[in-house]
Structure formats: C-alpha cells, structure tokens
Amino acid sequence: MIRCLAIDDEPLALKQLAEYIKKTPFMELVGQCDSALQAIDVINNKQVDLLFVDINMPDLSGMDFVKTLENPPKVVFVTAYSEYALEGFRVDAMDYLLKPIGYNDFLKSANKVKNWFDSQHQKLDEVKSSKDFLFIKSEYKILRINFDDIKYIESMNEYVKIHLINAKSMMTLLSMKSIEELLPADRFMRVHRSYIVSLNKISVIERNRIIFDEKVYIPVSEQYKSKFQSYIDRNF
C-alpha cells in the first residue's frame, strides 16, 4: 500500500482528494490537512510515501512547502493553474493534476506513482542479503558489504549512502524502506527519516543525537524516539 497524505486549504477539494485516495485499492489515506504547516506534524510522526498537495495555499505554498523538506516523500501537485506545471517538475514531482480533478485523471496519476514504487521493490531482487552481509549494486559493480562494517545509512533521495568503518562510503539505488527490510532488526534501527544506524557502533548519545565523531551528529526524530529510548533502557 502507498501511504498518502492529502493537503489542500479548500475543504471540498481536500474531501475529494481524500475520497479518491480511499477509493484506490493500492493507496491508504494516512491523513488530510488544510495547510502545509499542519502537514509537517503528520510527516514527522507517520510514514508518508506520497503527498497530494495543492500549490496555491496561504501562508506557505505547496511548492515552497515541499522545498523545505529535507527528504520529502514523493509528490503529486494539485492546482487550478496550469502555468505551475513546469516548476512542479523542477522539484522532482511525480505528476501534476489540474483542477477540477476527475477520478479518471486521478487514477492515471496514481498508476504512474504505483509503477515507480513497484520498480523500487523490483530492485530488491538485485540486492541479496544473508545473516552477516548483503550484496549491492554500486557503480556497475556488485559489492559485498559486511554488516559489521556498516556505521550508518543515509537517505539521498532515491539513493542510499552506506557509511562504512575504515572504508569509502557506497551509494546504491534503493529506498530507505527497502534497505531497512534487508537489515537485521536486532543490529540496525531507523532513528530518522534520513538515517538508519548500526546499534553496535553507538557509543555517545547527547540531546537526542547520536554522535559518531566530531563531524557526524545524527538526530533522533520524534517519530522514532520512543523505540530508540526503549532500546537504550534495555541495553545501557
């Protein structure tokens, strides 16, 4: 299921988006917001795969809102003004829906998004893992990475960057969700939308940050704070 958040300051338009999402078999509505500021709280506390967001909203436009997100979910922009289409694609939007939106147009966009998510899951077939290591594709090579060598993993939009102990970092075309599923849960934990850490490599925690060295401070976000605190309480 693709977990969706609808954002629109017009009540009827927001209701229509929510109903379309609920009507689509492979989509799940995780929230509906009438402002970008309200949506920030949802994104920080729930897993959101896709935003349907109106561009023209008071206080903070949908376009500016997406630009403020460090690692935004995938986005479909919604607006009554066609001139925003080009700018929407410049911020890596998956699609653009012009109001008034019929369900046929919505479904075409939804299927486009689904095809992208399906392709990401297919890439898992190219990544093999075992109890102690995984193989990834990076720069046209297949590389073995031992779990013991991983310090933390960082999201880089459609890629992940695997930071290693005493070795060069590796980049591979995978989502954070996909690589999280391949890692042993007793050794790795997601602590932020953008970070997965090796629990065995943690030595210093300060003010909701994991400090690996003087240059690496990894924040623990509200969404993952409770789970991480439970781990600390059990082990430290």
Same domain for 191 and 100, yes or no, is no
Please state whether the peptide bond connecting residue 73 to the residue before it is cis, i.e. omega within 30 degrees of 0: no
In one-letter notation, the amino acid at residue 111 is: N
pLDDT for the residue 82? 66
Which token pair is 121?
């899951």
pLDDT for position 19: 97
93, 122, 151: which is the final residue of a domain? 122
Structural domain boundaries, residue 208: 128-235
Please report the pLDDT score of residue 88 as a whole number.
47
**Same structural domain for residues 230 and 191?**
yes
- Residues 117, 7: one domain? yes
- Given a contact cutoff of 8 angstroms between Cβ atoms, the answer to whether 160 and 154 are in contact is yes
Domain boundary among 122, 141, 171: 122
pLDDT at 176: 86
The answer on 110 and 158 residing in a single domain is no
Of the candidates 86, 104, 122, which is a domain's last residue?
A: 122
CA torsion 147-151-152-153 (nearest 10°) is: -50
Q: Are 47 and 30 in contact (CB under 8 A)?
A: yes
Q: Tens digits of per-residue pLDDT, 200-217?
A: 999 899 888 999 877 889
Q: Is this model's pTM higher than 0.95 or not?
A: no
Inter-residue contact 235 to 186 (CB < 8 Å): no
Q: Total domain count for the chain?
A: 2
How far apart are alpha carbons 161 and 183 in whole angstroms?
Answer: 14
The 3 state secondary structure assigned to 110-145 is HHHHHHHHHHHHHHHHHCEECCCEEEEEECCEEEEE
Q: Which residues of the chain have pLDDT under 70?
A: 82-91, 120-130, 139-140
Which of 52, 62, 175, 155 minimizes the C-alpha distance to 105? 52
Please report the pLDDT score of residue 122 as a whole number: 58
Q: List CB contacts of 214: < 8 A, sequence separation 6 or more.
A: none
**Residue 203 class from Cβ within 10 Å (0-12 exposed, 13-18 middle, 19+ buried)?**
exposed
Residue 135 token pair: 């193989």
Q: Are residues 132 and 89 in the same domain?
A: no
What distance in Å separates the CA atoms of residue 29 and residue 35, rounded to the nearest whole number? 16
